[in-house]
């Protein structure tokens, strides 16, 4: 069911937009906060790597990744799932959020080269104990994962978004947050996804134009029950 505004999601979205607008480097701020084992030198190395890494390949836009971290931290998520890893920039930024909440993130990608690159990049920033990279077809992997998940980020094959959601539904915690990327630019590829989410009594959703160009955005979905 699409309702805009609705308090919980709009509050998080507004916070997200304010913070991303006020700092273009939010994704790299305080990278070691929440982890007493991260030294100042490691902090600096993390920041430098994330700054140099954020515009590579299929990675999430920096502002979008920052939004994801804010949503993870504001919702105090403990068990996260990312569908579509690429080289791991989004997983790293979300991983920083999960490091602060004391949670864990699983990220899934079908491309072996992407999985290898993401695994190496996560090790470079010391998040290999926070983020687990799984290689495989998400439609086959998701049913095998153990839930519940309280935060999900979907950024993979656009026409399969509804399939991903349905595969995950039995594993979603009450009050879970699902973020679906590229819902404006790729809207024609996912009409079934929009219809399902908007008509379901189990979900509240809103779309946020979060990309710097304002030509794309994310759907933030709250599982009511």
For residue 173, give the CATH number of its domain.
3.40.50.150
Taking 90 as the threshold, does the pLDDT of residue 76 lie above it? yes
**Token couple for 135:** 């290689």
Structural domain total, the chain: 1
Determine, yes or no, domain membership for 57.
yes
Determine, yes or no, domain membership for 53.
yes
Determine, yes or no, domain membership for 201.
yes
Average pLDDT, the chain: 83
pLDDT of residue 61: 63
Determine, yes or no, domain membership for 1.
no
Q: How far apart are CA 19 and CA 81, in angstroms?
A: 23
The SS3 call for residue 178 is: strand
Taking 50 as the threshold, does the pLDDT of residue 29 lie above it? no
Determine, yes or no, domain membership for 93.
yes
Determine, yes or no, domain membership for 2.
no
Taking 70 as the threshold, does the pLDDT of residue 211 lie above it? no
Taking 70 as the threshold, does the pLDDT of residue 6 lie above it? no
pLDDT of residue 18: 43
Taking 50 as the threshold, does the pLDDT of residue 171 lie above it? yes
Q: How far apart are CA 38 and CA 9, in angstroms?
A: 32
Determine, yes or no, domain membership for 70.
yes
**In sequence order, what are the residues at sequence separation of 6 or more whose Cβ sits closer than 8 angstroms to the Cβ of residue 7?**
none
Identify which has the larger pLDDT, 49 or 55: 49
Taking 70 as the threshold, does the pLDDT of residue 12 lie above it? no
Tell me the percentage of the chain whose pLDDT exceeds 90: 65
Range of the domain at 215: 7-223
Determine, yes or no, domain membership for 139.
yes
Q: What residues pair up with 221 in beta bridges, in sequence order?
A: 178, 205
pLDDT of residue 40: 52
Identify which has the larger pLDDT, 20 or 133: 133
pLDDT of residue 214: 67
Mean pLDDT, residues 92-118 taken together: 96
pLDDT of residue 8: 44
**Within 13 A of 96's CA, how many CA atoms are on the CB side?**
25
């Amino acid at each position: 069911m699409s309702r805009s505004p609705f308090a919980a999601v709009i509050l998080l979205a507004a916070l997200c937009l304010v913070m991303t607008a006020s700092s273009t480097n939010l994704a790299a701020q305080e990278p070691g906060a929440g982890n007493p084992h991260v030294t100042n030198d490691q902090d600096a190395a993390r920041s430098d790597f994330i700054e140099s890494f954020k515009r590579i390949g299929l990675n999430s836009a920096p502002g979008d990744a920052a939004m994801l971290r804010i949503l993870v931290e504001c919702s105090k998520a403990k068990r996260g799932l990312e569908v579509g890893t690429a080289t791991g920039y989004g997983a790293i930024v979300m991983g920083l959020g999960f490091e602060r909440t004391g949670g864990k993130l699983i990220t899934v990608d079908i491309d072996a080269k992407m999985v290898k690159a993401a695994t190496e990049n996560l090790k470079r920033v010391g998040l290999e104990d926070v983020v687990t990279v799984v290689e495989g077809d998400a439609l086959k992997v998701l049913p095998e994962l153990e839930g519940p998940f309280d935060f999900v980020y979907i950024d993979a094959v656009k026409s399969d978004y509804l399939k991903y959601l349905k595969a995950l539904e039995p594993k979603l915690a009450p009050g879970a947050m699902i973020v679906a990327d590229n819902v404006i630019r790729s809207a024609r590829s996912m009409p079934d996804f929009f219809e399902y989410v908007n008509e379901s009594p189990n979900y509240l959703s809103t779309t946020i134009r979060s990309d710097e160009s304002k030509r794309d955005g994310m759907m933030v979905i709250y599982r009511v029950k």
